[in-house]
Structure 1
Amino acid sequence: MNHSTRFALPMLHAGQAQKEVFHNEALTIIDILLHAGVIDIAVDAPPAEPQVGEAWIVGAAPLDAWSGHPSEIAAWTEGGWRFVAPTPGMTVWVDSGGLYARFRDGEWRLGTLVAERVEVGGIQVVGPQAAAIPAPEAGTTIDAEARSAINAVLDALRAHGLIAGG
């Protein structure tokens, strides 16, 4: 095996000449990925004057030095551009949006959180979407203000996806 399975880090072999080159390449890739952060996402053209350590997520139609590396992380190093192909579940901080991007189903998704439930202090505050709740329509006493408030609450719950549309 010449490279690691997930991130293609170069492997050292017994009797290999210039092991430091392979070792340093592996450290460079690890440095790019460890607590990964990029300047921007879905950028097709490399910047004119990148600084060492800066990184971007390449867009779907890469140009120039980034050609052939769609959706990869492109990092400028002392040795030039290094590219790392994403793996499912990889999470990267994106400075331009102030959000995390996660690689899922073959694409980067900016600011999307996927979860079964959200807990605060050990108490579930958001869970799976509940069934639709019908708006009030009848009754022996009709209170227009109360009905309006209930409808506003139902509309808000639907807009946030907490209950199905009714």
Structure 2
Amino acid sequence: MSETVRLRLPLIAAAQAQKHVTHNEALARLDTLAHLHLLTRTGTPPGAPLIGDCHLVTTPASGAFSGKADHVAEWTGADWVFHPPVTGLVAYLASAGTLVVRTAAGWRDYGGLLSPSAVLSRSAGGATTGLATLETTLSGLSGAFVEAAGLIPNRAVVFGVSTRTLTSITGAASYDCGLAAERSKFGGGLGVAAGSSNAGVIGPTAVYAATAVRLSANGGSFTGGSVRIAVHCLLASVPDA
């Protein structure tokens, strides 16, 4: 046997001359595939690559990537080297902030790494279902109400909006969290003291345009304070063309 079974690392033969060449080649391949770091999924060789850059080749592939779909393409400084996929190989895909795993059925997303949004499933045609936790902080509260414009994405299914009062709110005795047309949809009479919080869960609600979350003052207008708001929702994307 001249190479290992899984990663195809070259083996040193008995009485081989220049053993360091084979040894260094094995180390270089191991350095690439252990804790594999992929920059992108692409079927086109990127311009101006840096030594050690790796990409997951997709279909259709062109140029130097032709015929190498599903392979890991590594730039050596002189040309592209292609590593065939191995079932069970795990890689970090930087462009998506996810892990990908090589299975018997091909490469599959493992999921987001505690990112604001993560894909839970993907169809063969590229449609996805994902979950998102989208957050912002409203500071210097002033007036009868304040809004986090567009915090709820277009075509989202909202499960709830949670809040935390970061610094004590002044001017109002309490506040409601909701929408322009539904003042307390996510909670009413919420606390103005620093540290007050509310998990405003609701039945799944579909939203068909980017929508603001509104905080409305009770018992007077806002004159100060800050509140952190988080939207918890499901996101759907359409299949690829």
Q: What is the TM-score with the length of structure 1 in the denominator?
A: 0.63
What is the one-letter code of the residue matched to 2:48?
Answer: E
Question: 1:4-54: per-residue Cα shift (whole Å, max 9, x none)?
Answer: 10011111101222222211111111011121111012x111112110111
Residue pairs, 1:37-116, within 5 angstroms: 37-41=37-41, 43-112=42-111
Separation (CA, whole Å) in 1 of partners of 2:79 and 2:58: 19
Give the distance between the partners of 2:23 and 2:60, measured in 1 at CA.
32
Bigger strand share: 2
Which of 145, 149, 152 is matched with 2:203 structurally? 152
Equivalent residue letter for 1:92: A
Distance in 2 separating the partners of 1:8 and 1:79: 21
Is 1:88–1:106's contact at 8 Å kept on the other side of the alignment?
no
Work out which structure has the larger RCO, using CA pairs closer than 8 Å and 6 or more positions apart in sequence: 2
Q: How far is 1:79 from its partner? A: 4.9
- Whole-Å separation in 2 of the counterparts to 1:26 and 1:45: 27
Q: Kindly indicate whether the alpha-carbon contact (under 8 Å) linking 2:3 and 2:9 is maintained by their aligned counterparts in 1.
A: yes
* Higher relative helix content: 1
1:31–1:6: structure 2 CA closer, same or farther, 3 Å change rule?
A: same
Q: Paired residue for 1:17?
A: 17
Distance across 2 between alignment mates of 1:3 and 1:33 = 15
Distance 2:110 2:5 in 1: 28
1:121-160 correspondence to structure 2 within 5 Å: 152=203
- Partner Cα distance (1:17, 1:65) in 2: 33
Contact 2:101 2:108 in 1 (8 A): yes
Q: Return 5+ residue gaps in structure 2 as ranges.
A: 113-201, 205-233, 235-241
Calculate percent identity across the aligned residue pairs: 32
Partner of 2:28: 28
Equivalent pairs counted in the alignment come to: 121
Cα pair 1:44 1:63 within 8 Å, conserved: yes
User: Unaligned 5+ residue runs, structure 1?
Assistant: 114-150, 154-158, 160-166
Q: CA deviation at 1:80?
A: 2.7
Distance, in Å, in 2 between the alignment partners of 1:14 and 1:79 is 31
TM-score normalised according to structure 2 size: 0.45
How many Å separate the matches in 1 of 2:62 and 2:13?
35
Which amino acid is the alignment partner of residue 9 of structure 1? L
8 Å CA contact 1:57, 1:74 repeated in 2? yes
Q: Contact conserved, 1:102 with 1:112, CA < 8 A, in 2?
A: no
**Whole-Å Cα distance in 1 between the matches of residues 16 and 5 of structure 2?**
20
Q: CA deviation at 1:86?
A: 1.6
Bigger radius of gyration: 2
Question: Which letter maps to 2:29?
Answer: I
The DSSP-based 3-state class of the residue aligned with 1:30 is: helix
Distance 1:16 1:32 in 2: 25
- Dislocated runs of 4+, deviation >6 Å: none
In 2: Cα distance, 1:17 partner to 1:79 partner: 25
1: CA distance between counterparts of 2:79 and 2:105? 26
